[in-house]
Chains A and B, each alone.
Chain A
Amino acid sequence: GPKVLQIPSHQIIDMGQMVTLNCDPVSNHLYFYWYKQILGQQMEFLVNFYNGKVMEKSKLFKDQFSVERPDGSYFTLKIQPTALEDSAVYFCASSPYEQYFGPGTRLTVL
């Protein structure tokens, strides 16, 4: 099926630092999403993005979070500053209608 790529696969940072997670969505997809999965739990929606704008965000999408996709490049999730509870696997998805997920970025905040 369609491939969504995520870079990096793992990221370890100190609490308070900034981190940017990168997503390379399927080329003709127009809708983009970030989900968060804590080990052993279900995935939870963070935000979706279309036409350069955030369409909807959840309570998990804190003020320290931001998303953008400048000039059709990577769709990014930036966390600044990071907190211990941000440690999780973050999945990017893109869709024409059905959502296709990337392999995830495992973020560890120390």
Chain B
Amino acid sequence: QQQVRQSPQSLTVWEGETAILNCSYEDSTFNYFPWYQQFPGEGPALLISIRSVSDKKEDGRFTIFFNKREKKLSLHITDSQPGDSATYFCAAGGGSNAKLTFGKGTKLSVKS
């Protein structure tokens, strides 16, 4: 049973465009949703996170939109840069220091 789903599996955008990465979940007890960026051969790096009490979180070019009713969230990367090319993982957790359940990731390629 896959509790966190991500789409698309891969995404290619041009430099300067907005990339939209989607995530959905099943477990209504999840209340914390971090996004991680992972480059090949490296560990995942925390990019931005949101808690279920909020519907939007913005940090520079990265914005999370969260719809609790539909159990969906999305990561928007505006003004995409070639350096943003990486795999992005959506994760979900049930509270402070609880385990994270990860999606399978979206591989983003930004072409210049």
Q: Hey, which bits of chain A sit against chain B, CB under 8 A?
A: 1, 4, 6, 31, 33, 35, 41-45, 48, 50, 56, 58, 91, 95, 97-104
Report the number of A-B residue pairs with Cβ-Cβ less than 8 Å: 52
Known: A101-B44, A101-B45. A95 touches B89 (CB 8 A): no
Q: By the criterion CB–CB under 8 Å, are B99 and A31 in contact?
A: no
Choose from B44, B101, B104 the contact partner of A45 (Cβ within 8 Å).
B101
Known: A99-B46, A101-B43. A42 touches B97 (CB 8 A): no
Q: What is the bound-complex CA distance between A41 and B6, given in angstroms? A: 12
Q: Is B49 an interface residue (CB 8 A)?
A: yes
- Chain B interface residue count: which class? 20 to 34
Min Cβ gap B83→A in Å is 17
B36 to chain A: which residues have CB within 8 Å? 101
Task: State which residues 9-32 of B face A: CB under 8 Å.
Answer: none
Tell me if A's interface is mostly helix, strand, loop or mixed: strand
Q: Hey, which bits of chain B sit against chain A, CB under 8 A?
A: 4, 34, 36, 42-46, 49, 89, 96-105
Q: What is the bound-complex CA distance between A43 and B101, given in angstroms? A: 8
B100 to chain A: which residues have CB within 8 Å? 35, 43, 45, 99
Q: By the criterion CB–CB under 8 Å, are B44 and A31 in contact?
A: no
B101 to chain A: which residues have CB within 8 Å? 45
B104 to chain A: which residues have CB within 8 Å? 41-42
B102 to chain A: which residues have CB within 8 Å? 35, 42-44
Known: A48-B97, A98-B34. A42 touches B45 (CB 8 A): no
Q: By the criterion CB–CB under 8 Å, are B44 and A97 in contact?
A: no
